[in-house]
Structure 1
Amino acid sequence: MKISGFTFIRNGTLLGYPFIESILSALPICDEFIVAVGDSEDDTLERIRAIGSDKIRIIQTQWNEKMQDRGFVYAQQKMIAQYNCTGDWAFYLEGDEVLHEDDLQKIKASMEKHLNNPEVEALAFDYHHFFGSPDWVAISPAWYRQECRIIRNTIRSWAPDGLYFVVMDKNRKGRYPRAALVGAPIYHYGHVRSVEAMRQKNERVGKYWKHDHPLFNGYQIDPQSLKPFDGTHPAIANNWLKNEAEQNFTPNKNHELTKREKKHRWAMRIEKWFNIKLNKKHFTT
């Protein structure tokens, strides 16, 4: 069995991504790791080269600045990396997603288990979405609780906006992949980066989604959509969490709810009453 890791990144340092930690967290179980590196204004490319692993293959890319429709430029970059994978499985991590060292063997065992079962087209992970600081995780249906990050590399798949996979059957309508659950989480740190890095990120990437972001001055969220994190973080991320992540966030009990947050409060109540999950999934089981 051959495992290909892949990702894309641009201005990773400037925008506060733990992209080096992300790559290093998956490298032990990957036979190769493809990184599509966009033309950056910082030391992103040099830092990836400095990892010094012969597993890593860098593809330098140019982003289409005119592509501003629903994040499709992200999909383009993701697919550049994915289409250069040569393994049985293609394992995608975003630049703010990290694996825990305690889960690596479980992840690899899941790929081995389903390698010869064509009915399993992808493998899905649980998620820890950290918000505000490494001490809090988001739990409302606003956040995807499970997502495919491993796709069988012998099927026709593509990424509509970079987040998820679509499988194409006979050049017709796309569908979500059939997936098995890995039973391990991905640690998502995109919403704990420093306030300045988040401000830079919003200002620079909103155009690719046709979004006009207001000036980011701090993390705000419905406090009922958070819970304290009582687990351990990946060891590879500890230095980044200590030096680059926000540390002093406290949920604001007087936070004024948005219409969307009010809707998700009701959704959380319904989930509790009926023991169901209302978040969207981009795969079938």
Structure 2
Amino acid sequence: MKVSGFTFLKNGSTLGYPFVESIRSALPLCDEFIIALGRCDDDTEALLNQIDDPKIRIIHTTWNDKMQDRGYVYGQQKMIAHFNCTGDWALYIEGDEVLHENEIESIRNNMEKYLDDPDTEAFYFDFYHFYGRPDQVGISGYRRAPRIIRNSIRSYAPDGLFFVVLDKNKRGRYPKARHAGGNIYHYGHVRNVAKMQEKINQVSQYWNEKPTPFPGYGDIDPAVIRPFKGTHPAIVSDWLKTDAEWEFTPNPNYRLTKRDKKVRLKLKIEEMLGLEISKKHYTDLDK
């Protein structure tokens, strides 16, 4: 069994991504790791070269700044990296996401177990979306997503978040997936406030938006914040000490949006029924 890892990056240092930790966390699982690297104005490429692992292959790319439709440029860059993978399975991990060293064996075992099962097209992970500070998580968004895809099926990525499988030329569907046996630890919303502002400044154009001032992480409904009771991956410990945001103060004047109210209702329904009903971009084979 051969496993490919892949990601895309541009100005990872300037934007506060723990991308070195992210890639290092995935290397024990992968036989090769493909990076689609856009033109950078910082030391991102130098830091990638310092990892000094023969599994890594960098593909230099040019981002289409005219593509400003719902972040589709992310999907384009994701596909460039994916289409250069040569493994049986392809693991997609973003620059602010990290795998836990205690879960690598379980993930690998599942890929080996279902390698010859054509119905298993992908594996999904549970997500810890850290928010505001590293000892708490937000639960208002997606909580599971497929990040390993069988590399011999016709698939593409119209979005950075998910995959679409093409059974026929004109119609797509989400992949049939099983649980990977691990979690994705997502640190994008605990980068320090200045780095988050710089990210907003640089990427808003890809959503056809103008950058706005980032007031901090306090503008959020407290009902969607939960304490994190697990352990962080060891490889990200230094980044958490030096680069993560630890000051979090909820805005007492924050007013709930329509979306917040819908999320609160959904959480109440989940509590009443004992179900988890966040959006899924896969068909669950484990049910």
* Common topology (TM > 0.5): yes
CA distance in 2, matches of 1:265, 1:229: 20
- TM-aligned CA deviation for residue 214 of structure 1: 2.4
- How many residue pairs get aligned? The number is 283
Aligned to 1:79: 79
Bigger mean CA deviation after superposition, 123-132 or 241-250:
241-250
Aligned to 1:18: 18
CA contact (8 A) 1:223 1:252 kept: no
**Is structure 2 residue 70 aligned with structure 1 residue 34?**
no
Aligned to 1:192: 190
CA distance in 2, matches of 1:137, 1:196: 20
Q: Deviations over 1:253-273 (max 9, x none)?
A: 553222211221111111111
Q: Secondary structure at the match of 2:125?
A: strand
CA distance in 2, matches of 1:273, 1:71: 36
Aligned to 1:179: 177
- TM-aligned CA deviation for residue 215 of structure 1: 0.6
CA distance in 1, matches of 2:277, 2:265: 11
TM-score (norm 1): 0.97
Aligned to 1:249: 248
Q: Secondary structure at the match of 2:283?
A: coil
CA distance in 2, matches of 1:253, 1:283: 38
CA distance in 1, matches of 2:84, 2:145: 22
CA distance in 2, matches of 1:78, 1:229: 29
**Is structure 2 residue 46 aligned with structure 1 residue 50?**
no
CA distance in 2, matches of 1:196, 1:82: 31
Aligned to 1:212: 210
Q: Secondary structure at the match of 1:78?
A: helix
Q: Deviations over 1:103-148 (max 9, x none)?
A: 00011111001100000000000000000010110123xx111100
CA distance in 2, matches of 1:4, 1:274: 39
Q: For residues 123-138 of structure 1, what are the structure 2 equivalents within 5 Å?
A: 123-138=123-138
Q: Which residue identity lines up with residue 111 of structure 2 in the other structure?
A: M
Over the residues paired in the alignment, what is the CA RMSD in angstroms? 1.1
Q: Show structure 1 runs of 4+ deviating over 6 A.
A: none
CA distance in 2, matches of 1:77, 1:167: 18
CA distance in 2, matches of 1:107, 1:255: 40
Q: List gaps (5 residues or longer) in structure 2.
A: none
CA contact (8 A) 1:223 1:255 kept: no
Q: Secondary structure at the match of 1:188?
A: strand
Aligned to 2:230: 231
CA distance in 1, matches of 2:131, 2:66: 31
CA contact (8 A) 1:130 1:191 kept: yes
Q: What is the percentage of aligned positions where both structures have the same residue?
A: 59
TM-score (norm 2): 0.96
CA distance in 1, matches of 2:251, 2:232: 24
Q: Deviations over 1:170-225 (max 9, x none)?
A: 21211000001123110000000010010011121111112334210200211110
Q: Which residue identity lines up with residue 88 of structure 2 in the other structure?
A: D
Aligned to 2:117: 117
